[in-house]
Protein backbone atom coordinates (compact mmCIF):
# COMPACT_ATOMS: atom_id res chain seq x y z
CA UNK A 1 0.00 0.00 0.00
CA UNK A 2 2.88 2.40 0.74
CA UNK A 3 4.33 1.80 -2.71
CA UNK A 4 1.00 2.63 -4.29
CA UNK A 5 0.71 5.91 -2.36
CA UNK A 6 4.31 6.85 -3.18
CA UNK A 7 3.70 6.10 -6.85
CA UNK A 8 0.55 8.24 -6.94
CA UNK A 9 2.32 11.13 -5.19
CA UNK A 10 5.25 10.96 -7.61
CA UNK A 11 2.84 11.10 -10.55
CA UNK A 12 1.19 14.16 -9.04
CA UNK A 13 4.50 15.95 -8.45
CA UNK A 14 6.10 15.08 -11.81
CA UNK A 15 4.27 17.71 -13.93
CA UNK A 16 5.37 20.46 -11.53
CA UNK A 17 8.99 19.29 -11.63
CA UNK A 18 8.97 19.39 -15.43
CA UNK A 19 7.31 22.83 -15.50
CA UNK A 20 10.03 24.32 -13.26
CA UNK A 21 12.77 23.35 -15.74
CA UNK A 22 14.94 26.41 -16.52
CA UNK A 23 14.32 28.04 -19.87
CA UNK A 24 17.10 28.44 -22.42
CA UNK A 25 18.43 31.92 -23.01
CA UNK A 26 16.33 33.39 -25.82
CA UNK A 27 17.95 34.71 -28.94
CA UNK A 28 21.38 33.03 -28.79
CA UNK A 29 22.92 32.72 -32.20
CA UNK A 30 25.24 29.92 -33.27
CA UNK A 31 28.25 32.24 -33.00
CA UNK A 32 27.33 33.18 -29.42
CA UNK A 33 26.97 29.53 -28.42
CA UNK A 34 30.35 28.70 -29.97
CA UNK A 35 31.97 31.69 -28.22
CA UNK A 36 30.56 30.58 -24.84
CA UNK A 37 31.91 27.06 -25.43
CA UNK A 38 35.36 28.36 -26.34
CA UNK A 39 35.58 30.58 -23.24
CA UNK A 40 34.33 27.76 -20.99
CA UNK A 41 37.17 25.54 -22.25
CA UNK A 42 39.93 28.07 -21.61
CA UNK A 43 40.00 30.06 -24.83
CA UNK A 44 40.94 29.38 -28.42
CA UNK A 45 44.69 29.84 -27.84
CA UNK A 46 44.67 27.19 -25.11
CA UNK A 47 43.01 24.69 -27.47
CA UNK A 48 45.51 25.44 -30.21
CA UNK A 49 48.38 24.64 -27.82
CA UNK A 50 47.06 21.14 -27.06
CA UNK A 51 49.41 18.53 -28.53
CA UNK A 52 47.81 15.27 -27.38
CA UNK A 53 44.61 13.94 -25.83
CA UNK A 54 43.86 10.59 -24.18
CA UNK A 55 40.34 9.18 -24.02
CA UNK A 56 39.65 6.26 -21.67
CA UNK A 57 36.36 4.41 -21.68
CA UNK A 58 34.56 1.18 -22.39
CA UNK A 59 32.52 -0.24 -25.25
CA UNK A 60 29.34 -2.09 -24.42
CA UNK A 61 28.11 -4.86 -26.69
CA UNK A 62 25.51 -7.53 -26.16
CA UNK A 63 27.08 -9.80 -28.81
CA UNK A 64 30.72 -9.60 -27.72
CA UNK A 65 32.37 -12.34 -25.60
CA UNK A 66 32.88 -9.75 -22.84
CA UNK A 67 29.99 -7.31 -22.32
CA UNK A 68 32.28 -4.36 -21.41
CA UNK A 69 35.51 -3.90 -23.35
CA UNK A 70 37.86 -1.18 -22.05
CA UNK A 71 39.72 1.04 -24.51
CA UNK A 72 42.29 3.83 -24.58
CA UNK A 73 42.40 6.26 -27.51
CA UNK A 74 45.49 8.44 -27.83
CA UNK A 75 45.38 11.31 -30.32
CA UNK A 76 48.45 13.39 -31.14
CA UNK A 77 48.61 16.58 -33.10
CA UNK A 78 48.57 16.60 -36.17
CA UNK A 79 46.25 13.71 -37.16
CA UNK A 80 47.99 10.84 -35.38
CA UNK A 81 45.92 8.42 -33.36
CA UNK A 82 46.35 5.08 -31.61
CA UNK A 83 43.43 2.92 -30.46
Contact 76, 52 (CB under 8 A): yes
Domain boundaries, the chain: 50-83
DSSP 8-class letter at 25? P
Residues of the chain with pLDDT under 70: 1-12, 14-25, 83
Q: For residue 75, what is the enclosing H or E element?
A: strand 68-76
Model pLDDT for residues 37-53, shown as the tens digit of each residue: 989 989 989 888 888 88
The values of phi and psi at residue 58, to 5°, are -145, 150
Q: Report d(CA 64, CA 52) in Å as an integer.
A: 30
Is there a contact between 53 and 75 (Cβ–Cβ < 8 Å)? Answer: yes
* Bridge partners for 76 per DSSP: 52, 80
pTM of this prediction? Answer: 0.41
Amino acid sequence: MRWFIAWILSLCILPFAVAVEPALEPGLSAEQIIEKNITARGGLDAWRKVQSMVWVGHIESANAPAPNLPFVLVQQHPNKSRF
